[in-house]
Structure 1
Amino acid sequence: MLNRIDEEITFRKLEILLAFMESGSLARAAERLGISAVSVHRALHSLETGTRCSLFRLEGRNLQPNDAAHALADVAREVLQAMSNGIRATREIAGYAADRIRIGSLYSLTSVTVPAIIMGLRLRKPDIQTELVMGSNQELLRRLREGTLDATVMGFPEDAPDVESQLLFEDGMFFAAPAGSPYAQQDEIDLGALGDERFVSLNEGYVTRDRFVDAFRVAGFEPNVVMTTNDIFSLMNLVGGGIGCTLLPGRIRNVLPRNVCLVPLQPRYQMRQKICVVFLRTRERDPNLLSLLAACRSHAEELKG
């Protein structure tokens, strides 16, 4: 069993001891540490109390370290370096200020939004490595809370008081149909008149699925969903193949297959998505996340311009 260390001996006092030993005087040590000479003298005297031995002798008005002080200083260097390494290793295991960052994303955000954010992050931290994980809103939030993700770009999570978020943009929902269908010629879609239509959708847990359900709740009927998928790109192909129609966010317009068109919904059926970068509130001071947030704010400003 280790002997109990006196509470008078602290890391801070060992740092003061090393500053004094290296600078050679109370005044220079105080200047280096940004404290008063009296505070330095008090800390050194406290170390003598904690070790229960003399560490210094007076030569005139100057304080001189003896052999015991040099021995304690040697140990202090090792202890402080070991603790510094241990704290760094602990933070890296926890994902704080490591040389990598794990970012979650919805599939629909990987064509424009996520690449722009990652490029902005690398401008601020060139050496950082990025791991990208795809999933649903529900899955990404779960992984964030489990600690396997550092941040995630997703739809704004409702009823999640343990997270912070930075809004990137708001996105509207559109009716998606085969390009050759009669719907493609309409100026807007009356969702309430499509009770006999076949639909395809994402599985539960995706923000796009939530808005799909919300829109049909307004329409007053439950749609005939003939097939579901976990991938929005597969969903678009199902529409293009004539399997069924669906609702899609406007952000996928640039990657929309040629055989699929987006048509505005009538105002009463229009739904909005808030797309945010989300992270745990307990991580709000993490340097990597602060750099990520700066990149996100920059991207959000570009979108406004």
Structure 2
Amino acid sequence: MHLHIDEDITFRRLEILLVFMETGNLARTAEKLETSAVSIHRALHALESGLRCSLFRHEGRNLHPTEAAHALAEVAREVLRSMADGVRSTREVAGYSSDHIRIGSLYSLTNRTIPALVMGIKLRKPDIQAELILGSNADLLQKLRDGAIDAALMGTPDNAVDVESEPIFEDDIYFAAPVGSHYAAMERIDLASCAGERFVTLTEGFVTYSGFVDAFRVAGFSPNVVMKTGDIFSLMNLVSGGMGYTLLPGRVRSVMPQKVQLIPLQTKYLMRQTISLNFLRTRERDPNLLMLLSVCRMTKAELR
């Protein structure tokens, strides 16, 4: 059954009615709601128009509520209470200001960045539960847009006008080789001289893969990629095992296998990643995300 409520009957006007019933005075109602007495009078009159009955008796400039006004006020309290509960539960389902926050991250950030971030969260909101979801840049961006995560620590996405990004740190890309390789003594690597080598890399969608492609575009040849993998730790193990060379961000230096060496690239191949906290602009007022943003800004030095 279709239920029709006249457009003159709004939540705001019901709220005004309840405050007026409490104060009994236009001026005090206006002061409490931070508006004018004229606006209060218009709102009450609009309610009468929508209901098509009188809610008040006029005695000079004073308004006295009728039995109809008391009846409407009783219903209005229940309606506004139910709607407030509905808004709160809807926000919780959407992850807005709940006691649970879902953070997406690149695998390479789980060593230092994520632990430092979670520690900062716990210091500010001890009761909040953080859930970690790992993936590539492309995966995390899609999960962000689908509402599967609340925020993502990843490479700053290009042309994502629906996403708010807070830069955390920048990271240079290095040539990764097994310790003792014939590149070990070089101060900087000229990728153009590596055309005959085998390479391993991350799968498409990772920000490091994008840097890999860009660097070899500058070098002027397509590398011989013998294997791709879906996480950076497996990639480092492939290099350690002599499967091939690759390009890696400097942030993995502290968790690399002992048999892997990072060597700087020549200046013309320099690639720099910007790692940022990302969330949808439509949720920029979410208290949990504002807290997360504050943590990132306060602990940037620890997050690399």
**Common topology (TM > 0.5):** yes
How far the C-alpha of 1:192 sits from its partner, in A, is: 1.7
1:135 aligns with 2:135: yes
Q: Which residue of 2 aligns with 1:253?
A: 253
- Give, in whole Å, the separation in 2 of the partners of 1:94 and 1:288: 12
| Range 52-61 or range 166-175, more displaced | 52-61
Q: Which residue of 1 aligns with 2:165?
A: 165
Is the CA contact 2:117–2:303 (under 8 Å) kept in the aligned structure 1? no
Identify unmatched segments of 5+ residues in structure 1: none
How far the C-alpha of 1:144 sits from its partner, in A, is: 1.6
Q: TM-score, with normalisation over the residues of structure 1?
A: 0.90
Is the CA contact 1:199–1:224 (under 8 Å) kept in the aligned structure 2? yes
Matches of residues 61-210 of structure 1 in structure 2 within 5 Å? 62-210=62-210
Deviations 1:242-291 (A, max 9, x none): 22221110011111222211111121222111111222233333332222
Is the CA contact 1:6–1:51 (under 8 Å) kept in the aligned structure 2? yes
- Give, in whole Å, the separation in 1 of the partners of 2:278 and 2:55: 53
- Give, in whole Å, the separation in 1 of the partners of 2:257 and 2:169: 23
Kindly tell me: are residues 51 and 136 of structure 1, through their superposed partners in 2, closer, same or farther at Cα, counting changes over 3 Å?
A: same
- Give, in whole Å, the separation in 2 of the partners of 1:206 and 1:2: 50
Q: Number of residues paired by the alignment? A: 304
Is the CA contact 1:215–1:271 (under 8 Å) kept in the aligned structure 2? yes
How far the C-alpha of 1:302 sits from its partner, in A, is: 6.0
Kindly tell me: are residues 61 and 122 of structure 1, through their superposed partners in 2, closer, same or farther at Cα, counting changes over 3 Å?
A: same
- Give, in whole Å, the separation in 2 of the partners of 1:39 and 1:138: 50
Task: Return the letter of the residue paired with 2:26.
Answer: L
Matches of residues 30-45 of structure 1 in structure 2 within 5 Å? 30-45=30-45
How far the C-alpha of 1:59 sits from its partner, in A, is: 6.0
- Give, in whole Å, the separation in 2 of the partners of 1:130 and 1:207: 24
What SS class does the counterpart of residue 183 from structure 1 fall into?
coil
Identify unmatched segments of 5+ residues in structure 2: none
Task: Return the letter of the residue paired with 1:24.
Answer: G
Is the CA contact 1:168–1:299 (under 8 Å) kept in the aligned structure 2? no
How far the C-alpha of 1:203 sits from its partner, in A, is: 1.1
Kindly tell me: are residues 38 and 222 of structure 1, through their superposed partners in 2, closer, same or farther at Cα, counting changes over 3 Å?
A: closer
How far the C-alpha of 1:3 sits from its partner, in A, is: 5.1
Is the CA contact 1:170–1:274 (under 8 Å) kept in the aligned structure 2? yes
| Range 121-130 or range 213-222, more displaced | 121-130
How far the C-alpha of 1:8 sits from its partner, in A, is: 2.3
